[in-house]
A and B are shown apart, each in its own frame.
Chain A
Amino acid sequence: MTQYAFYFLAFVSILCALMVVFSKNPIHSVLYLVLTFFSIAGQYLLLNAQFLAVVHIVVYSGAIMVLFLFVLMLLNLNTEAEPQKSTWLKFAAVISGGLLLITFVASLKGSENMALVQKNPEIGLTANLGKILFNEFALPFEISSILLLSAMVGAVMLSQKEKEAKQ
């Protein structure tokens, strides 16, 4: 049962990721990316990482994608008249991306095909992750708060109009 769920979610995520790249309208790209993120959250649920699945939906689909949609509609970019690269350049890009994929797949060639066995299925629950986060990773956790604060200050500084410079 979980096997079929894995392959279904993998199919959906890859299809939606392709649609993100190749759909003409940027709004459609954002909506397909939301679908991709939901299917990846489903993969996290299959891997018994409930906390990460919820955080993924909240942060990515809830915050980041809304930010993208907001900026797209603010800049009024929801048109299909976007300038396209030349056909040869697109062809070369797809070929080089495919070569990268072939390199990744070829590196798997010698590996043994072992099944994913969860040694400790409780590891993804919120209580266990919280214990690890606040015991071993307490300092990076605090540093990431400084990172988020500086990102907030930077975003506000960047997006305000430069009144003093023009006068």
Chain B
Amino acid sequence: MNALQSVPLNHYILLSAMLFAIGVIGVLVRRNAIIIFMCIELMLNAVNLLMVAFSAHHGDGSGQVFVFFIMAVAAAEVAVGLAILIMIHRNSKTTDIDFLNKLKF
């Protein structure tokens, strides 16, 4: 069962760091608010992957339960965020964040 002995723990940390950095770059580069949401999901997933790896390494299931809660919070966040985006698009006909920099319509 412990066939994972060949993969070092550092490589999991590297993979998560790269996914997280790609998410940060996406948030900084793109102007479409929906793509920015997707990059935030990517960052959450990087953290989830690292938490599962550490949970498996320590033999403690609490980390995986925590990932479960992160998924619930992410689902709630996406539902509310996309509702806000639909409302913004209905009022201003755009999802461009450079247009939405005044905290009002």
Contact = CB atoms under 8 A, between A and B. Distances in A.
A163 B96 CA distance: 26
Contacts of A118: 1-2, 4, 56-57, 59
A123 B61 contact: yes
Interface of B: 1-15, 17-26, 28-32, 34-35, 37-39, 41-42, 45, 48-49, 52-53, 55-62, 64-65, 67-69, 71-80, 82-87, 89-90, 95-96, 98
Contact of A116 (B9, B38, B95): B9
10 contacts: A30-B38, A47-B56, A49-B64, A56-B71, A60-B41, A68-B34, A94-B28, A100-B24, A115-B7, A161-B90
A132 B2 CA distance: 22
Contacts of B12: 116
Contacts of A124: 52, 55-56, 61, 64
Contacts of B14: 105, 108
Contacts of B10: 108, 111, 113
Nearest to A157: B83
A156 B68 CA distance: 24
A97 B25 contact: yes
B5 A64 contact: no
Interface of A: 1-3, 6, 10, 13-14, 17-18, 20-22, 26, 29-30, 33, 36-37, 40, 43-44, 46-49, 51-52, 55-56, 59-60, 63-64, 67-68, 71-72, 74-75, 77, 82-85, 90, 93-94, 96-98, 100-101, 104-105, 108, 111, 113-121, 123-124, 128-129, 132-133, 136-137, 140, 144, 147-148, 150-152, 154-156, 158-159, 161
Given A17-B19, A44-B52, A85-B31, 15 more contacts: A21-B22, A33-B41, A59-B74, A71-B86, A85-B98, A93-B29, A98-B25, A116-B4, A117-B4, A123-B60, A129-B61, A144-B72, A148-B72, A151-B77, A158-B80
A98 B21 contact: yes
Contact of B62 (A10, A22, A132): A132
Contact of B9 (A100, A101, A114, A128): A114
A33 to B, nearest CB: 5
A78 B36 CA distance: 15
A111 B61 CA distance: 24
A46 B1 CA distance: 10
